[in-house]
Amino acid sequence: MKRIILALLLISMMAALPCTMQAKKRVTRKKANTENLAGLTPLERKIVGKHLLTLQWISWKGYGSVVIKKEADGTLSCRGGQFARDCYKAGDVDDECYTNGDYIKLDGTIEIIDETHLVFTGDIRQKIYHMNNGEEILRQGTYNFVQKENRHYWRMQEMTNPVDECVDYIDIYFKR
C-alpha cells in the first residue's frame, strides 16, 4: 500500500512540474521585458522596440520591421528591413513562379528630436526590380523621419530616389 501511495505521489509531482515550469517562464519573460525598458526616458520608451516598416514599391500589406534598441554606449541602433513576399508568374507557365527579390534594409542609429521627428544616420539599401536595372541602390547619410497630420508612422522626408528620381515612401510605424 505504501508503494502505491508513493507512486501516486511521485506521478502527481511529475504532472505538476510542467505547470510550474510554464509559470516560471512567464514570470521570467515579463521580468526581461521590464528590464529592457529600465533606464530609458519616457520618450525613449515610446521609440525603443520593434516597429513595422514599409517601402511602397514592395508592399503596404506585407510589412517588414525594424528594431530600435538602446546600446550599451547610449546610442539608439536601428536595424531591419522589408522583403518582397509576392510570387510573380514567369511567362505563360501557370505553375512556375519566382520571388523578385525586392528589399529595403536599414542599418544605423536614431536620434530622437521629439515624438514626431527621428533622425536616422546610416545605410539604406534597396533593390527594386524595375529601378536601376534591378541593382541595389545604396544611400548613406542622415535622413529625417517625421510624423505629420496625425498619421501613425514617421515618413522619410528625403523621398527622391537618388538613382531614378522617383519618390520613395519609406515609413516606420509606431509600436502597437
Q: Write down the pLDDT at residue 6.
A: 58
Cell 522619410 found at: 156
Residue ranges of the chain whose pLDDT lies below 50 = 20, 23-25, 27-35, 88-98
What separation in angstroms does the CA of 61 have from each of 41, 82, 85, 155? 32, 11, 10, 17
* Cell representation of residue 123: 545605410
pLDDT digits (tens, 9 = 90+) for 8-20: 556 666 666 555 4
Question: What's the pTM value of the predicted model, to 2 decimals?
Answer: 0.73
Cell numbers 506521478: residue: 11
pLDDT the model gives residue 97: 46
Domain boundaries, the chain: 1-38, 42-173
pLDDT tens track for 58-91: 987 789 999 999 999 999 999 999 998 755 444 4
